[in-house]
Amino acid sequence: MHSYELASTTGSRSYSIWLKLFFWAVFLVMGAETIGPIKIPFGANNIVLLPYLWATLAGLAVGLMRARTPKILSVDLAAQRKASVIFQAAVLIFIAKLGLLVGESIPLIIDAGWAILFQELGHFVGTILFALPLALMLGIKREAVGATFSVGREPSLAIIGEKYGMNSPEGRGVMGEYLTTTLFGTLFMTVAASIVVSLDIFDPRSLAMGAGIGSGTMMAAAATAIAAQQPPALAKEVMALAAASNLITTTVGTYFSILISLPLANWAYRTFEPIIGRTTVASITSSEVSPDAVTEAELDWRGKIFAWIAVAALALIASYVATNGFSPEIYAGLALLIVVAAIGEVLSHLSFKKVPVVCWVSLVAMFLSSPANPLANEVKKLADAVNILSLITPVLAYVGLSIAKDIPALRRLGWRLVLVSLLATFGTFICATLVAELFH
């Protein structure tokens, strides 16, 4: 076969995979948004399961059924690997939206005070202190880094995806933690916070600051459990402090994770794995990685633009299904997010990728919506037209479509990874509480 014939065949195959994945993503997003949020009563609180969970789990089911699905629709291993790199590009749209939300809140963060700022150290070290030693003793290898450097929310997926790729051991670790906290995090934090506050060791305000772990649902669950045991006036203060702490965790989380948490997790792994590390049935070494788990090449510029447009189109669908319509400003808002992601990519290349693209996208977005930009009010109007949940559901639909290839490895990690993930979540809560108590 001549070289141009081979290129043509490869390009056609790649094009069909993109179409197939987009078809499934549309189906998953529409289904998830139609189901909508589901509230499960739990004591004085509700456990809220959001549409992105349905999209993720349904995507996993599609991948697992690849052998029983007609070939034209089957999400085979090649398609799953492609879905993982599409996610790595698409998640920048979500990071841009997050940055725009943060920029307008900079004055609030500055006014928050030293205690609420310093307790962030606890948030981004507690996961490693509590969970990494246990992971090593349970025989978890490099997956431990991805599972313990943070609480494993969307920005963490972006950081690990950019640095290691989602098909890596670190990618499996952060994905396992993400799934664990998505499924069990709200319930776990409700119970954990209730137990800790009942011990009457910490000031409720310190516990409130500790509750702001970077996840809106888990923060709300923990803060509500804390506030339920306080007088009305103090309960209101608890909720306000928890919200402010969560905002700051979201704001500085990306930078702390890149500059402090991830390097610290890598150092701790190199230092302590030879000392306390074990080899168990959960241990997965590089020599055991299946050839099917090869890393997909990074998307070129055309692929990234296609990924951003695909997520924008899916966000339109999600918004329409969820609300039976949307404002015309959403088109400009989504275009703004794509432009911010593109500028971040350009700046990352200009810095020879010494500064991760996630940081550049965040910084550009924060500037645009901050008081330093004279057009901040106009930017805010466009950003407000795009609901953040309508973005995360499409992004996680691609994550769901990529997971099935990692199920054998995740099954080997099993309960060990679940335990480590929940301990990392508890670690960030209790360590931040301890630091807040010191500065209170």
Residue 158 has a pLDDT of 87
Q: What is the mean pLDDT of residues 326-350?
A: 93
Q: What is the mean pLDDT of residues 174-180?
A: 89
pLDDT band at 234 (very low <50, low <70, confident <90, very high): confident
Give the separation between CA 420 and CA 118, rounded to whole angstroms: 25
pLDDT band at 2 (very low <50, low <70, confident <90, very high): very low
Residue 366 lies in domain = 3-439
Task: Please say whether the dihedral angle defined by the alpha carbons of residues 423, 424, 430 and 434, taken in this order, is positive or negative.
Answer: positive
Listed in sequence order, the residues at least 6 apart from 253 whose beta carbon sits closer than 8 Å to its beta carbon are 123, 124, 150, 155, 214
Lowest mean pLDDT among 250-254, 273-277, 332-336, 401-405: 250-254
Residue 3 has a pLDDT of 44
Q: Which residue from 299, 404, 393 is spatially nearest to 85, judged by alpha carbons? A: 299
Q: What is the mean pLDDT of residues 115-125?
A: 73
Domains contained in the chain, number = 1
pLDDT band at 10 (very low <50, low <70, confident <90, very high): very low
Give the separation between CA 161 and CA 229, rounded to whole angstroms: 40
Q: What is the mean pLDDT of residues 295-324?
A: 89
Residue 323 has a pLDDT of 85
Say whether pLDDT at 28 is over 70.
yes
Lowest mean pLDDT among 6-20, 309-323, 379-393: 6-20
pLDDT band at 327 (very low <50, low <70, confident <90, very high): confident
Residue 45: how many CB atoms within 10 A of its CB? 22
Residue 209: how many CB atoms within 10 A of its CB? 37
Say whether pLDDT at 8 is over 60.
no
Q: What is the mean pLDDT of residues 286-291?
A: 50
Residue 61 has a pLDDT of 94
Listed in sequence order, the residues at least 6 apart from 33 whose beta carbon sits closer than 8 Å to its beta carbon are 51, 317, 318, 321, 322, 390, 393
- pLDDT tens for 137-170 read 999 999 999 999 998 887 888 889 888 988 889 9
Residue 117 has a pLDDT of 65
What is the DSSP track for 305-340?
HHHHHHHHHHHHHHHHHHHS---THHHHHHHHHHHH
Give the residue with greater pLDDT, 398 vs 179: 398
Give the separation between CA 194 and CA 389, rounded to whole angstroms: 28
Percent pLDDT > 90 in the chain is 38
Residue 437 has a pLDDT of 87
Residue 1 has a pLDDT of 45
Residue 7 has a pLDDT of 39
pLDDT band at 345 (very low <50, low <70, confident <90, very high): very high
The single-letter DSSP state of residue 201 is -
Average pLDDT over all residues of the chain: 85
Q: Which residue from 216, 92, 214, 99 is spatially nearest to 161, judged by alpha carbons? A: 92
Say whether pLDDT at 287 is over 70.
no
Residue 291 has a pLDDT of 45
Residue 47 has a pLDDT of 66
Residue 207 has a pLDDT of 93
Tokens of 156: 């963490």
Tokens of 272: 């302590």
Query: What is the identity of the amino acid at 340?
Result: V
Give the residue with greater pLDDT, 292 vs 34: 34
Q: Which residue from 430, 423, 377, 434 is spatially nearest to 188, judged by alpha carbons? A: 423
Rounded to an integer, what is the distance from CA 260 to the centroid of its chain?
18
How many residues are present in the chain? 440
Say whether pLDDT at 9 is over 50.
no
Tokens of 219: 């923060």
pLDDT band at 286 (very low <50, low <70, confident <90, very high): low
What is the DSSP track for 2-21?
-HHHHHHHHHHHHHHHHHHH
Residue 186 has a pLDDT of 78
Say whether pLDDT at 29 is over 80.
yes
Q: What is the mean pLDDT of residues 257-261?
A: 88
Percent of the chain that is helix, strand, coil (3-state, to 5): 80, 0, 20
By the 8 A CB rule, do 398 and 59 touch?
yes
Q: What is the mean pLDDT of residues 285-301?
A: 61
**Residues paired with residue 28 on neighbouring β-strands, in sequence order:** none
Residue 337 has a pLDDT of 96
Residue 420 has a pLDDT of 95
